[in-house]
Structure 1
Amino acid sequence: MAVVAANTASIAPNSLPTRPFLSAAAVDLRNLLFNESLPFRHLKLVHGRLLRLGLHHDGYLLNILIRSSFISGHPAHALLLFSQTQTPNLFHFNTAIRGLVSADRMPDAVQFYHQMRREGFSPDNFTFPFVLKACARIPDLETGTKIHSQLLKSGFELDVFVKTGLVSLYSKCGRLADAQKLFDEMSVTNVVSWTAIISGYTKCGRMELARRVFDGMVRKDVVSWSAMIGGYSSNGLPREALQLFFEMEAANMKPDCVTMVGALSACAKLGALELGERVSRYMEVSSFLSNPILGTALIDMYAKCGSMARAWAIFGRMKEMDRIVWNAIINGLSMTGHGKISFGLFAQMEKKRVAPDSNTFVGLLCACTHTGLVEDGRAYFSSLSRIYSIDPRIEHYGCMVDLLGRAGLLEEAHRLIKDMRMKANAVVWGALLGGCRIHRNIELAELVLKKLVVLEPRNSGNFVLLSNIYALSGRWAESAKLRWSMKREGIQKTPGYSWVEMDGFVHEFHVGDKSHPMSEEIYLKLDELSKQLKAMGYMPTTDDVLFDVEDEEKAHSLEHHSEKLAIAFALIRTQPEETIRVVKNLRVCGDCHSAVKLISRITCREIIVRDNNRFHCFREGACSCNDYW
């Protein structure tokens, strides 16, 4: 297939009509309007000149003025001009639809298309690509398929830009088979059509197919690279995202805002601070501070890497702080154990008249959960609908059930689930099961598991949690029976692993792992730490090894948990004053939590462990969670 190396928006011919015969004054005004860097105040002066010269009803000049108003970032003014057009024509509608799409006002663009049809105008090859783009972004498959039928009747189905719009529409609406069929029918393809297919596959989590298409591209632009990097990151493949980012670097392709967000998100997921800082150096600091999207990505990266001080510094320097930026810092503070500060920040947010949204309250409720502040949690949850007119989402209920369950208020948590306006999902029931584990409520745990088995029949975590509750209560027979049923059904327990970043590489460890090149030194370091721990009176918390074997065997198993291996490796490879950062895919067990507190005292190190629930900052024998997690 031939490849047209250009973007649809940039190569589509101008939808303005040609107007060869203009007066000298009109020519001067036209030339002024074609200057895309013309300030908006000058545009208004030009409009005034048109009025004085009696040219304000000239459809050609008015169309240019509408276009220039959109380009200058004033869509409301452009629409006002359109409304004053006495006899709008197809070119006016095309300019308005294109301008609204550029202004990210997709529903309005679709409405203008319907208005255009009602007024008897037939769309052309300039109309269809932009209205299809609007339908894809909303997404509105129903309208998009109707437009598809209209363009077939109009004979525009072979136009490369129209066909690219269709590929994008069906890809973004999850109709990948239709998108692929249309793509395969294209005799001429461009980078945009290739990228549309890639985006469709990444959205559906089919990264292997997306990569196959990506590798088949003759020419890749920054958008196609960004689609793959963002796809890997959002589909739980952060290592692959960063590997591709550095391949992009090797190809001398400069990243844009979207690329940076995808790469920084991957660093955040890995907790890879060093890599995150390396990625951030591809743009000037001023770019982050003046762009809320980039700034949010950088704040989120620092927060999830456990460097809240740097996240706070970026937040304080932001030139434009929208609600998403405030949410990022509030969520970062809550996950790193600074709940009270996040409450104060929320008060500042309100003082500055930035309206909170449902995501703001997810952060606040998480802060309450991590610190056991039940009354504060109840107050925030109540204020959602009562004060802010926000309907509670499933995430808010999940936070409240988690908060109440951890505090031992299991019956209240159960009642809350029963009173929910929507059907509880696995996350909500799982939060209640976690509370049952902490407080060893077997009867309620068995009831909850029945709900979870219906929702997630293959999720091993639910079975393991109930098995652990049985084991904690000494009911080994029931625990063994449940684990045997898991084996019979082929349900595998999710293996625990931890990773640590070192010199730009991420090192991964599993329990009892001996595959690392430095395994011998790592295990020697663990033995050394074990002796020092025992000298300080440490005794393994064998309750965390929940199977019926001798205590000595349990203790041996605990010594080689993945987070301990990662910490031992980091102690060998880093300088005495360096902070150690470890990420774990599962919840940190109680024994490791106790051991790492003492290791931080023995080594005089700050050790930050991020598990799948929260951050633990160990320093001088204490943890930031205050043993509540």
Structure 2
Amino acid sequence: MADTRIARTQIHKEPQPLLSRSRPKFYVTALLSSRNISHIREVHAQVVVNGMLQNLTVANKLLYMYAQRRVLGDAYALFGGMGERDSVTWSVMVGGFVNVGDFTNGFATFRELIRSGVTPDIYTLPFVIRVCRDMKDLKMGRLVHDIVLKHGLLADNFACAALVDMYAKCKVVDDARQLFDKMQNRDLVTWTVMIGAFAECRNADESLVLFDWMIEEGVVPDKVAMVTIVNACAKLGAMHRARLLHYYICRNQFSLDVILGTAMIDMYAKCGCIDSAREIFDRMQVKNVITWSAMIAAYGYHGHGRKAIAIFHLMLNSGVSPNVITFVSLLYACSHSGLIEEGLRIFSLMWDEFAVRADIKHYTCMVDLLGRAGRLDEALELVESMAVEKDERLWGALLGACRIHGNIDLAEKAVNSLLELQPENAGHYVLLSNIYARAGRWKDVAKMRDLMSQRRLKKVPGLTWIEVDNKTYQFSTGDRIHPQSEKIYAMLESLGKKLELAGYVPDTNFVLHDVDEEVKLAMLYSHSEKLAIAFGLIATADGTPIRITKNLRVCGDCHTFTKFVSAVTQRVIIVRDVNRFHHFREGTCSCGDYW
């Protein structure tokens, strides 16, 4: 306050002679000492009175002070009256609009800059690129990229890094990578952005490759980079990489704070090792609601619903209040463990005891919970009575329940609602087609396939991945391109005989084609998860776990097949499908056949 009073005294006592060389420095100093908007306006008035507004340094500083305090009306009025502007002027004005979220005026000011013939600089461009990123405006982003090229600014690391980030956030990862590869000096932020971009675009394997390259280049990751790569590893589900990352984190003495520790819990859980996730959880000195929710979720998609509820009670006893995510994780855990009454009780106490209002995710979990249990009427009643807007996940949960229980009428209702929301999603057509096929309604199956053909929609192929000797192998249905393909099919034939003696009977109901039984049997045996398991039996040592990942839901026959394989071969088989984990051991599955 003392500085402010001194500055005001100086202003009021200052005579008004002709301009002097020291005057610009005086006004800049006065602005630097400003503490509030009233003082800035007071200095502004003195600047105008003393004829100093024509001094670009003073005007720019005044503009900056208005923009810094988010008084954009005053800033733009000053900007509009400036007879001279330089790159700093434009940068401050564009940045001021962007920082308050006024992207429309930010773009408009940038267009005015281009039309004025002023060359944009490396300070203005990142603001505009950031708008393109935040608005996911790829068209404008490409135009800004053209401007960068036109003015020869692509060599600037700052502008190039901003473009990489923009393309990455717009999910145009190939364009981001092209720019990234051309950069001569990549800083840690750019590496981190690029690693995260591949993870977001479902190419986590490339994220890990980039991380290795970054280390080889001598770039030392910080905690943000480590969290990014840990999240990428979680998406890939690669256990050997999870172990290597954990070792790297320990060796470089990164502390397991809330953010990194929670990311590692999620990573280990999604790589199939719930025990390691719990070890990380127990070692963390500080846990927030996100950490507790992550551990609850981890137990949930591993089918340990009661352990998820136990963690919830520990969380309450520790004094941490649950949030909306906590209850989503809890309800998901109940749904995938068949804990119907527990789920209903948790859903009711959300608001009654914790004042957490149910949103679409909670309702989706409840529809899934009731639907899996065969209580389809209650699930539909809940859908029709809910006050929140329905989305594709909610109707998808209802449709999934219809598939389990063969309710065709309700399935058609769910699909009609889904197609209104997502008419180009092939999965909805496929799921209804599968329900028709299970009911033997082959004419309806043909109609659905014709409809997909007319709309040029293609079914997502079933793929399965397996890790062997730190390398990931991919299999598709009927795959014969693997170098050991003959051995794999020979193993499947040998397994088939042993499994039949053990009591396994292939369920041809899961072949959704109107073909002979013999053909159905052959098609069943060539499912991608069976090929991956057979390869795992060939390529890994006896007694070691086999880990596979499926991009779709595991079919019922493959689930039964894997249970028998775990009993006959005495192997633990861990399967991660699109919904959850299955741990097969000695002929049983952790899901209790409830998935």
TM-score under structure 2 normalisation? 0.82
Q: Distance in 2 between matches of 1:309 and 1:131?
A: 54
Deviation at 1:562, TM superposition (A): 0.7
Q: Within the alignment, does 1:170 sit opposite 2:132 as a pair? A: yes
Q: Distance in 2 between matches of 1:486 and 1:574?
A: 41
Contact in 2 for aligned 1:471/1:479 (Cα 8 Å): yes
Q: Within the alignment, does 1:542 sit opposite 2:498 as a pair? A: no
Q: 1:357 to 1:285 in 2, by over 3 A?
A: farther
Contact in 1 for aligned 2:37/2:69 (Cα 8 Å): no
Q: Equivalent residue of 1:507, what SS?
A: strand
Q: 1:469 to 1:86 in 2, by over 3 A?
A: closer
Contact in 1 for aligned 2:196/2:207 (Cα 8 Å): yes
After superposition, give the CA deviation of every residue in 1:44-94 in whole Å (9 maximum; x if it has no partner). Answer: xxxxxxx9xx889778xxxxxxxxxxxxxxxxxxxxx99799957999xxx
User: Of the two, which has the highest radius of gyration?
Assistant: 2
Aligned amino acid, residue 320 of structure 1: V
- Pick from 176, 184, 188 the counterpart of residue 210 of structure 1: 176
Q: Equivalent residue of 1:218, what SS?
A: coil
Q: Equivalent residue of 2:504, what SS?
A: coil
Report the counterpart of residue 298 of structure 1 in structure 2.
Answer: 264
Report the counterpart of residue 470 of structure 1 in structure 2.
Answer: 436
Aligned amino acid, residue 160 of structure 1: I
Contact in 2 for aligned 1:288/1:295 (Cα 8 Å): no
Q: 1:166 to 1:477 in 2, by over 3 A?
A: closer
Report the counterpart of residue 384 of structure 1 in structure 2.
Answer: 350
Aligned amino acid, residue 113 of structure 1: R
Q: 1:366 to 1:410 in 2, by over 3 A?
A: same
Deviation at 1:299, TM superposition (A): 1.1
Q: Equivalent residue of 1:509, what SS?
A: strand
5+ long unaligned stretches in structure 1: 1-50, 60-80, 92-108
Contact in 2 for aligned 1:255/1:282 (Cα 8 Å): no
Report the counterpart of residue 532 of structure 1 in structure 2.
Answer: 498
Q: Distance in 1 between matches of 2:100 and 2:281?
A: 30
Report the counterpart of residue 114 of structure 1 in structure 2.
Answer: 70
Report the counterpart of residue 198 of structure 1 in structure 2.
Answer: 164
Deviation at 1:541, TM superposition (A): 1.0
Q: 1:255 to 1:56 in 2, by over 3 A?
A: same
Per mean C-alpha deviation after superposition, the further-off stretch among 128-137 and 390-399 is: 128-137
Report the counterpart of residue 309 of structure 1 in structure 2.
Answer: 275
Contact in 1 for aligned 2:426/2:457 (Cα 8 Å): yes
Q: Within the alignment, does 1:422 sit opposite 2:413 as a pair? A: no
Deviation at 1:580, TM superposition (A): 1.2
- Pick from 202, 211, 214 the counterpart of residue 236 of structure 1: 202
Q: Distance in 2 between matches of 1:131 and 1:346?
A: 49
Q: Distance in 1 between matches of 2:400 and 2:378?
A: 15
After superposition, give the CA deviation of every residue in 1:332-357 in whole Å (9 maximum; x if it has no partner). Answer: 11111111111121222222232322
Report the counterpart of residue 559 of structure 2 in structure 1.
Answer: 593
Per mean C-alpha deviation after superposition, the further-off stretch among 333-342 and 422-431 is: 422-431
Aligned amino acid, residue 374 of structure 2: G
Q: 1:502 to 1:175 in 2, by over 3 A?
A: same
Contact in 1 for aligned 2:299/2:305 (Cα 8 Å): yes
Q: 1:360-375 alignment to 2 at 5 Å?
A: 360-375=326-341
Report the counterpart of residue 580 of structure 1 in structure 2.
Answer: 546
Report the counterpart of residue 257 of structure 1 in structure 2.
Answer: 223
Q: 1:117-196 alignment to 2 at 5 Å?
A: 141-142=103-104, 144-145=106-107, 158-183=120-145, 184-185=147-148, 187-188=152-153, 190-196=156-162
- Pick from 263, 266, 276 the counterpart of residue 232 of structure 2: 266
- Pick from 433, 443, 453 the counterpart of residue 399 of structure 2: 433
Aligned length: 540
Q: 1:381-460 alignment to 2 at 5 Å?
A: 381-460=347-426
Per mean C-alpha deviation after superposition, the further-off stretch among 395-404 and 347-356 is: 347-356
Contact in 2 for aligned 1:260/1:280 (Cα 8 Å): no
- Pick from 183, 186, 190 the counterpart of residue 220 of structure 1: 186
Q: Distance in 2 between matches of 1:140 and 1:518?
A: 59
Deviation at 1:181, TM superposition (A): 3.6
Q: 1:548 to 1:153 in 2, by over 3 A?
A: closer
Q: Distance in 2 between matches of 1:143 and 1:471?
A: 56
Q: 1:197 to 1:387 in 2, by over 3 A?
A: farther
Q: Equivalent residue of 2:583, what SS?
A: strand
Contact in 2 for aligned 1:191/1:224 (Cα 8 Å): no
Aligned amino acid, residue 335 of structure 2: T
- Pick from 571, 579, 603 the counterpart of residue 569 of structure 2: 603
After superposition, give the CA deviation of every residue in 1:24-60 in whole Å (9 maximum; x if it has no partner). Answer: xxxxxxxxxxxxxxxxxxxxxxxxxxx9xx889778x
Q: Within the alignment, does 1:561 sit opposite 2:527 as a pair? A: yes
Q: 1:519 to 1:166 in 2, by over 3 A?
A: same
Q: Distance in 1 between matches of 2:42 and 2:522?
A: 78
Contact in 2 for aligned 1:133/1:168 (Cα 8 Å): no
Contact in 2 for aligned 1:135/1:169 (Cα 8 Å): no
TM-score under structure 1 normalisation? 0.77
Q: Distance in 2 between matches of 1:424 and 1:192?
A: 43
Aligned amino acid, residue 502 of structure 1: V
Q: Distance in 1 between matches of 2:581 and 2:544?
A: 18
Q: Distance in 2 between matches of 1:285 and 1:344?
A: 33
After superposition, give the CA deviation of every residue in 1:453-501 in whole Å (9 maximum; x if it has no partner). Answer: 2222232222222222222223233223323333343322211010011
Q: 1:150 to 1:483 in 2, by over 3 A?
A: closer
Contact in 1 for aligned 2:67/2:96 (Cα 8 Å): no
Q: Distance in 2 between matches of 1:372 and 1:467?
A: 27
Aligned amino acid, residue 70 of structure 2: H
Contact in 1 for aligned 2:133/2:170 (Cα 8 Å): no
Q: 1:212 to 1:507 in 2, by over 3 A?
A: same
Q: Distance in 2 between matches of 1:136 and 1:375?
A: 50
Aligned amino acid, residue 471 of structure 2: F
Report the counterpart of residue 327 of structure 1 in structure 2.
Answer: 293
Identity %: 40
Aligned amino acid, residue 295 of structure 1: G
Contact in 2 for aligned 1:267/1:276 (Cα 8 Å): yes
Q: Equivalent residue of 1:281, what SS?
A: helix
Q: 1:398 to 1:263 in 2, by over 3 A?
A: same
Deviation at 1:624, TM superposition (A): 0.3
Q: 1:142 to 1:442 in 2, by over 3 A?
A: same
Q: 1:127 to 1:429 in 2, by over 3 A?
A: farther
Contact in 2 for aligned 1:90/1:121 (Cα 8 Å): no
Q: Distance in 2 between matches of 1:337 and 1:545?
A: 27
Aligned amino acid, residue 545 of structure 1: V
After superposition, give the CA deviation of every residue in 1:119-159 in whole Å (9 maximum; x if it has no partner). Answer: 99979988997997797688553574587699999999845
Q: Distance in 2 between matches of 1:457 and 1:538?
A: 40
Q: Distance in 2 between matches of 1:136 and 1:576?
A: 60
Q: Equivalent residue of 1:354, what SS?
A: coil
Q: Distance in 2 between matches of 1:476 and 1:412?
A: 30
Q: Equivalent residue of 2:364, what SS?
A: helix
